[in-house]
Structure 1
């Protein structure tokens, strides 16, 4: 087993399920000491799966005091912070622009954009103190162009890509790299209803059919890319949005929703 994170102090938000859980477990398998942060009891479950190398933390990734608490916990437990994986996010449902309330988009932006912003703001200085490291933000193919998510979700993930670029530039000379990962369809807590519904209808084989690989991703496939970006193997990768979508965004086909008509 490659021990790329031996002795490294790592925070993973949204660690309670899906990509966050798979990545936290991968970090730990490679020697990392992980703060498993999540709003739900999934944080405790993930930490229990990992064992002594993990510490659970219940937190709201979009609240500044909670992010500060996560960073302080990592410093207190491990004496340093080397990697921040800002993964927590919410979907925002399926409403179009005209049916999206201000309250809904405000909450989506709070978690999906302000959360990564706070991760950058508070984690980066402590990673600098440790001599350098990496910050990875979870964006989405929906942030690249329309057709892969709701307006609220898509706009928020475009913001995450911008934060990765801005963070890389504003941390110039610090030896801290900032990148975003852009998953396509992946079986996670956020998409479980879609997967369950398709399987119940006998259409599970149609999931991911729009991408050239003709399937959705497993969270572990995303974890491999994220841990690469957080490792020294990616030492010259900075300010990028790395797409992991089975080839979907090479064309980005979708059923266009016309104004005044319901999507089919």
Structure 2
């Protein structure tokens, strides 16, 4: 059920205009729906036509969005998304650079080719750089706002993704720190959200395989919440970071991972470790 128009008008993103990349599924779709519900008018960007389904869902819930097909790692396409926001809505306040890929490599470290690394870095790291490069001036000229990039807990240390993916996400974490400093005095904040294991199109085979094998209970077993995440949970963190509630948060990397990154992986102690002792 969609929120009444009066409720949307008083949302946390009321009056804001945003671009969301990777909006055709997963975290991007969940964030688009949440941002729109909170009052944002959106340009939703993806390389697949699934983005039209996201726009339809936004409109069905009473929100406003338009779709763009494009490549998040292509400068012309990213610049066009920023321009489209200005042409359609008259301003830009938010850019959520969420699109990403793993590279699809099966096997170990030495199975990936330079071409795989180049493509992953192009989309996952150069893409957010392009978002900042083109969105920051537009957001600055509108009085300030927020750029958010999707990194990953894989960017913090080994063990949460393939090498090329992990390296690209480590780059995103440093990118937002560097960009925040470069944009000093502009009123443009730049942060990263770091999802842990979350059920999206990227991780669906893992979740489906565990369920088929009767091992769903083992998903997320290394984090203290003992479960995987949902796209909607990452979207809530993204909403905070792009909203005025985070007006003093800049150059930061927020892990949303059930506590996985609070510790290096270790064997659990004997006994019922999930039950606190008195």
**TM-score grouping bracket, smaller chain normalisation:** over 0.9
Q: Which runs of 5+ in 2 are unaligned?
A: 1-6, 268-278
Superposition map of 1:2-151 within 5 A: 3-51=11-59, 53-92=64-103, 93-151=105-163
Q: Which runs of 5+ in 1 are unaligned?
A: 256-264
**Aligned partners of 1:148 and 1:254 also within 8 Å:** no
Which whole-Å deviations, capped at 9, do the CAs of 1:160-180 have from their partners, x for residues lacking one?
001100110000001110000
Return the alpha-carbon distance in structure 1 between the equivalents of residues 15 and 51 of structure 2.
21
**Aligned partners of 1:95 and 1:151 also within 8 Å:** no
Match status 1:253 vs 2:265: yes
**Aligned partners of 1:11 and 1:34 also within 8 Å:** yes
Instruction: With the length of structure 1 as denominator, give the TM-score of the two structures.
Output: 0.94
Return the alpha-carbon distance in structure 1 between the equivalents of residues 68 and 143 of structure 2.
25
Which whole-Å deviations, capped at 9, do the CAs of 1:137-157 have from their partners, x for residues lacking one?
000000001111110000000
Return the alpha-carbon distance in structure 2 between the equivalents of residues 10 and 238 of structure 1.
18
In structure 2, relative to structure 1, the CA distance for the partners of 1:100 and 1:24 (3 Å cut) is same
Instruction: Give the equivalent residue in structure 2 for 1:213.
Output: 225
Match of 1:228 among 220, 240, 249: 240
Q: Greater CA radius of gyration, 1 or 2? A: 2
Match of 1:178 among 181, 190, 201: 190
Superposition map of 1:165-204 within 5 A: 165-204=177-216
Which whole-Å deviations, capped at 9, do the CAs of 1:204-226 have from their partners, x for residues lacking one?
11111110000011111111100
Between the two proteins, the alignment pairs up a number of residues equal to 255
Deviation at 1:100, TM superposition (A): 1.2
Return the alpha-carbon distance in structure 2 between the equivalents of residues 8 and 163 of structure 1.
24
Moved over 6 A (4+): none
Instruction: With the length of structure 2 as denominator, give the TM-score of the two structures.
Output: 0.89
Return the alpha-carbon distance in structure 2 between the equivalents of residues 254 and 186 of structure 1.
21
The CA RMSD over aligned residues, in Å, is 1.3
Deviation at 1:245, TM superposition (A): 0.4
SS in 1 for 2:42: strand
